Amino acid sequence: MDKWFEDKFEKNRLRNYTKQRLKPNPFSNFSRKLSITNWIIILNVLVFIISIILMSFFDQEYIVSILALQANNFFSGTFWTLLTSMFMHGGAGHLLFNMISLFFIGNFVEKIIGRKKLLRFYLISGLFAGLFYVTLSYFLGTTEIGIKIFTSPDTYAVGASGAIFALLGLLAILTLNNKVFLITGPLIAIIFQALISQLFPTSQLLPLLELLVTIYFIAAIFSIFSFNPTLRKISLPLEMSFWVLPIIAIVPLVIIGLFVPLPIGNTAHLGGLLAGFIYAFYLKQKYPHKTKQLKTIFSK
């Protein structure tokens, strides 16, 4: 019995287990070369391409109804849309803006909290942001003023911005004095387009305006990567501390939304922001020394 135990477990099984653990895994090595943030970006791009393909073969409204987040549908049983809507986007410009934001902010957060924590935090906060959105929309978005603030329960929402705002919320607490640039140009373009569409809803120039806004949108985003300071001004970058960024990115849009309908999910952004705050305070309680060091480093 002793000899069998020694042969079967110590010599064979444990040795084979060790060899298996040490055996090179090409996929694992390749996946490790990319950050979790970059993998999330790739997934978002793939889902966007797949959704376009699906909409070319099937009814567009049907695809949207089963993948995008809507309060009425959600409370009727489409609970999975909390997840699927996180990886869908309303257009190439929407996708590009979100993914560039995620690239810079997400990789920064990942270096602070690590790969596994970033993935868990991103998914959980995105789900929380979506739940926050549909709950407020369903119960409070039924009046005229409620629709303006909380969005109609018939309105569909897609995008990664809820989770991205959670990352911002985390940084707003952990690195509150670190400087960052808010790209205001695309936001102003969206507000301008919404205002013109509201004032002249039957104008034949609206498609042209949409095209021009899209062109500017893309040009503004790519100007960020330019080494020429003059070209960077195309995007109208506004430098501010991290703790100011969420306020500037939400409050003015909520106020403007009271007068002009905007295609922006402010309540989802707010939900993501709250998730980021909660996780940041949790990290401060659990790792007081490390979070204090972060605050010191980024206060210089």
CB count in 10 Å sphere of residue 15: 11
Asked if residues 89 and 44 have their Cβ atoms less than 8 Å apart, the reply is: yes
N-to-C CA span, the chain: 67
Length of the chain in terms of residues written: 300
Residue 270 in contact with residue 203, Cβ under 8 Å?
no
CA distance 29 to 27: 5
Q: What is the identity of the amino acid at 82?
A: L
In this predicted model, what pLDDT tens digit does every residue of 50-97 receive, in sequence order? 999 999 888 889 999 999 999 999 999 999 999 999 999 988 888 988
Q: What are the pLDDT digits (tens) for 173-184?
A: 998 888 888 888
pLDDT of residue 13: 53
Q: Which of 27-41, 79-93, 258-272 has the highest mean pLDDT?
A: 79-93
Q: Which of 284, 252, 271 is nearest to 163 (CA)?
A: 271
**pLDDT in the model for residue 29:** 58
Of 80, 219, 71, 69, the C-alpha closest to 159 is: 69
Per-residue buried b or exposed e for 77-116, using 16+ beta carbons within 10 Å of the residue's own CB: ebeebbebbbbbbeeebbbbbbbbbbeebbebbbebbeee
- pLDDT per residue over 14-27, tens digit each? 455 555 555 655 55
Cα atoms in the 13 Å half-sphere on the side-chain side of 186: 24
pLDDT at 1 (0 to 100): 44
C-alpha distances out from residue 281 to 243, 275, 291, Å: 14, 10, 10
pLDDT of residue 16: 58
5 or 67, which is more confident: 67
Q: Please compute the mean of the pLDDT values over residues 281-289 and round it to a whole number.
A: 91
> What percent of the chain has pLDDT above 70?
89
Q: Strand 156-157 to strand 179-183: parallel, antiparallel, or no bridges (unpaired)?
A: unpaired
Superfamily of domain 33-178+242-297, CATH level 4: Rhomboid-like (1.20.1540.10)
Check pLDDT > 70 for residue 242: yes
Q: Residues 235, 173: contact at Cβ < 8 Å?
A: no
